[in-house]
Amino acid sequence: MTTQVSAYISNETKILFENFSSKSGQKKGFILEQALLHYINAHQELPADIIIPPSITVSKEVFETVIMAEQEPTQALRDLMNEDRD
């Protein structure tokens, strides 16, 4: 038995969804069901603090001081990013 679900999504998500469906050859209903099952199972099985949301909202102050800061990467970050190249 199947049930129809209706939801509002952003235009950007709709475009990504349609492009993915077209390129992968998978039907939209299959993609949605798999995505919902993945999301629900992750939230049931994993601790909430390790689930990474698809977007993060920060204050204007955090955006300006952390995200837009013109800082050179630390040596630790450089080492981490070069780890696979060794």
Q: Give the start-to-end residue ranges of the domains of the chain.
A: 11-85
In the block, which residue shows the tokens 């509002």? 8
Q: What are the distances in angstroms from CA 20 to CA 6, 32, 58, 63, 69?
A: 19, 11, 29, 31, 34
Predicted pLDDT at 86: 57
pLDDT digits (tens, 9 = 90+) for 5-35: 999 999 999 999 999 999 999 999 999 999 9
Distance CA(68)–CA(82), nearest Å, equals 23
pLDDT digits (tens, 9 = 90+) for 35-77: 999 999 999 999 999 998 888 888 999 888 887 888 888 899 8
What is the model's pTM? 0.63
Tokens linked to 74: 């630390």
